[in-house]
Every structure is written in C-alpha cells, then in structure tokens.
Amino acid sequence: MGALFVCPECANEWVAADPINEPESHERVIKDAVGNVLADGDTVSVVKDLKIKGSSTVVKVGTKVRNIRLVDGVGDHDIDCKVDGVGPMQLKSSVVKKV
C-alpha cells in the first residue's frame, strides 16, 4: 500500500523506517533490582526464589548467573542466560542484582 506496511493478520498499518531521515535511536537501558545498569557479559545473582514453570525445580536466592545477554524477550523477561543445574532460561531484570 504505497509507503505503508500492513499486517495481513490484524490490518495494523505503519510507516516504513527511513534510515536517512530517522533520528538517532537511543538504546534501552536495563537496570537490576537495585538500580545498577546491566550490560552483556555481566554476572548477577538472584534476589528471590524463582519457581520454574512446568517443573518442581526452584532457583534459590543468591544463585549466581554468569555471562548474561540482554534481549527483548517475552513480556518483561530481558535477560537470556544459562543457570547452573537448571539450564538456559530468560529472567526479569527486577529479580537479579549485579555482583
């Protein structure tokens, strides 16, 4: 439809991004539970027990998670990581603290 993109499922319309006239985008700043800014590769610790959906396993308070990766995940889950003994998972930044 000309200069507009249209979603075939919901009929939402939007304008195509113009990289020449587009203002500089600001990166999203992700902070932990106490307000420290997080970055890729940081080590964090869990600040409350986390029940894992679909399992009887729990990630305990104080569990250290190394080498996190910041992502735009589902909902508020913005940290992609691998927890020892549990495996790969996504966490919310509001339940971790930078070490």
CATH of domain 28-98: 2.30.30.40
Mean per-residue pLDDT pooled into runs of 10, the chain (99 residues): 74 70 67 95 96 92 96 89 93 95
CA atoms of 32 and 70, how far apart (whole Å): 12
**pTM reported for the whole predicted model:** 0.70
